[in-house]
Amino acid sequence: MNNLNGKVALVTGASRGIGAGIAKALAKAGAQVVVNYAGNQAAAEQVVQEIRGQGGEALAVQADVSKPDQVAHLFDQAIAHFGKVDILVNNAGVILYKLIQDTTEEDLTRILDVNVKGVFNTLREAATRLADHGSIINFSTSVTRLMLPTYGAYAASKAAVEQLTRIFAKEMGSRGINVNVVSPGPTRTELFLEGKSEETVARLASLSAFNRIGEPQDIARVVVFLASDEAKWISAQNIGANGAMA
């Protein structure tokens, strides 16, 4: 089950957190992995070394996914090194906690550039460069199913990703490529925990049926399944990985 031997996976935003967990899980399942990062080269190289230390193959490539030319370079490097790309995981993203009335033009531009344009740019590249019978897993959030103040711009950007996924799944089906979304709930990463008190984390954990927040491996397991041949009949779907939070 979930055997990815011979496949090449490109994971955006994979230097830490959920992205790093996904990169390692894909490698453990047999895939060769391209670890994309925007700025933290040391963290990306650490992920690569961990994968290689477990007997896997990985390559770190810098690219700002909001820039089309850098996304093209990302695919260039992946294909030059591994010969192809079978799996694209669009994990890179930024978050913003502001009331809509307090959200500036600059705030909105930044979140749309990374969360929407970033996904659009990689999908456009994948349309001609992803291998036939490949898989694409985009990332949204369980926040799109809730109505939480201060998440307006973030939820809007992720709702756009969900719709891009549905349309792209229809466009790519003739090539045997399935396209899905994973929507995590609160997940224990450095970025998520930053600035949150123990009480806040406990309150968020209580929203889950299991009275805990997610771990990166909880999300990574879902991605590995969606990237496998066992999931080929699943496409244009939004999988909530949130412990019944929403």
- Out of 37, 97, 151, 154, pick the active-site residue: 154
The secondary element (H helix, E strand) that includes residue 127 is: helix 118-129
* 196 Ramachandran zone, left/alpha/beta (phi>0; psi -120 to 50): beta
End-to-end CA distance of the chain, in Å?
A: 28
**Rounded to the nearest 5°, which phi and psi values hold at 97?**
-115, 90
Query: In angstroms, rounded to a whole number, what is the distance separating the alpha carbons of residues 246 and 232?
Result: 25
Sheet of strand 58-62: strand arrangement: 58-62, 32-37, 8-11, 87-90, 135-139, 178-184, 238-241
Query: In angstroms, rounded to a whole number, what is the distance separating the alpha carbons of residues 34 and 10?
Result: 5
Contact between residue 187 and residue 19 where contact means Cβ atoms under 8 Å apart: no
Provide the 10 A C-beta neighbour count for residue 197: 9
Q: Is there a catalytic annotation at residue 151?
A: no
Contact between residue 187 and residue 22 where contact means Cβ atoms under 8 Å apart: no
Question: In sequence order, what are the beta bridge partners of 36?
Answer: 61
Those residues with Cβ within 8 angstroms of residue 199's Cβ, 6 or more apart along the chain or in another chain: none
Contact between residue 61 and residue 78 where contact means Cβ atoms under 8 Å apart: yes
Positions marked active-site? 154
